[in-house]
Chain A
Amino acid sequence: MLHHTVLRVVAKLLVPVILLFAFYVQFHGDYSPGGGFQAGVIFAAGIILYALIFGLDDTMQAVPPGVLKILSASGVLLYAGVGIETLLLGGNYLDYDFLAHEPTHGQHLGIFLVELGVGVTVASTMLLLYYAFAGREQGQ
């Protein structure tokens, strides 16, 4: 895929915007439609667009599968960890009221962390799925 000049230029312009939009959807999910799930999918889609045009090998060097495996587990761990933290602070599991002095502040913090966990897991798992499917296509 070396000669698609238009595709390469457009992708180079678009990929950063897509990744930035993913972060916007992630962290603005409290105020507008969106949240961790959508943001993770958009982030993965941006990187997959890069992989489609610039090749899987370069993408795997930039975003190594080993790191993705760790991230994919740590997102779930972050989510479950917030629950454990609220247990330790004296509340019920995933009862964010106890995360801060003010219940609504606790809810803000809890939702932020939980959505971050969802986003990290979704983005890295989608990328791992793509790597697993697309990686087998070459020469096997």
Chain B
Amino acid sequence: MNLDSVIDILLLAFMAVIAIAIVRIRDLFGIAMLFSIFSLLSAGVFTVMDAADVAFTEAAVGAGISTILMLATLTRTARKEKPSNSKNPAVALIVVFVTGALLVFGTSDLPRFGDPQAPVHQHVAPRYIEESPKEIGIPNMVTSVLASYRGYDTLGETTVIFTAGIAVMALLGMRRSRRREDDEEID
């Protein structure tokens, strides 16, 4: 067994433990922190898989910003989760098991990780690898694909973030800036 798979197994085992802990505990603050650790571990998995850009994003967004936003939301809600009052936990368990079994069954058809004959490596990837140094001239191929070949998609993603910001501001508003408070005092 080489070192990569040992690290993989360790990280995935930690992730499974944390996932079970998230389901079991009721303290929402603890859950938010565990989500953060979960993201950090999956960033580790992406790093082992040589997907540095994805790992970077996962660490910055999943472990960083979204934890802070969850904690900020927690200050507006209760600290403890209400005990669930589902009448039939067996049904939920069966649904989870069937879905999980289907997913595991689905992976049996997937090509091996890093298989050069896999369809995903036969489609447009060879062209990016061969032509992008000439066409784009940038060493980081991920940036070439994201910003140039797939420029429309990235424009769409940026628009999505902008739209999400507008939506949150329309729903929550910006009430507590200092200037407004001063105005109220003058009034």
A residues neighboring B (CB under 8 Å): 25, 29-35, 37-38, 41-42, 44-45, 48, 52, 56-57, 60-61, 64-65, 69, 72-73, 75-76, 79-80, 83, 93-94, 96, 103-104, 107-108, 110-111, 114-115, 117-118, 121-122, 124-126, 128-138, 140
Q: Contact partner of A130 among B72, B134, B177, CB < 8 A?
A: B72
Tell me if A45 and B169 are in contact (CB < 8 A). Answer: no
Task: Enumerate 25 A-B pairs (CB-CB under 8 Å) in ascending A order.
Answer: A30-B140, A33-B56, A37-B157, A45-B60, A65-B174, A73-B162, A94-B155, A107-B137, A108-B137, A111-B148, A114-B147, A114-B151, A122-B161, A128-B165, A129-B168, A130-B68, A132-B168, A132-B172, A134-B72, A135-B177, A136-B76, A136-B172, A136-B175, A137-B72, A137-B75
CB–CB B65/A44 < 8 A: yes
Given A31-B139, A76-B155, 9 additional A-B pairs, CB 8 A: A25-B56, A35-B146, A52-B68, A115-B143, A132-B172, A133-B168, A134-B75, A135-B177, A138-B176
Once the chains bind, are B65 and A41 in contact (CB under 8 Å)? yes
User: What chain B residues lie within 8 Å of A104 (beta carbons)?
Assistant: 134-137
Residues of B within 8 Å of A, CB-based: how many? 48
Asked whether, in the complex, the Cβ of B175 is within 8 Å of the Cβ of A35, the reply is no
Q: A104-B136, A111-B148 are in contact. Are A133 and B57 (CB under 8 A)?
A: no
Identify which of A29, A57, A108, A132 gathers the most chain B CB atoms within 10 Å of its CB.
A132
Residues from chain A with Cβ under 8 Å of B57 in the complex: 37-38, 41
**Which residues of chain A are near B148, meaning CB under 8 Å?**
94, 96, 107, 110-111
A96 and B48 alpha carbons, distance in the complex (Å): 34
Establish whether residues B159 and A31, one from each chain, have CB atoms under 8 Å apart when the complex forms. Answer: no
Q: Which 5 residue pairs spanning A and B have beta carbons closest together?
A: A125-B165, A104-B137, A133-B72, A135-B176, A33-B52
Pick the residue among A34, A41, A56 that contacts B176 (CB under 8 A).
A56
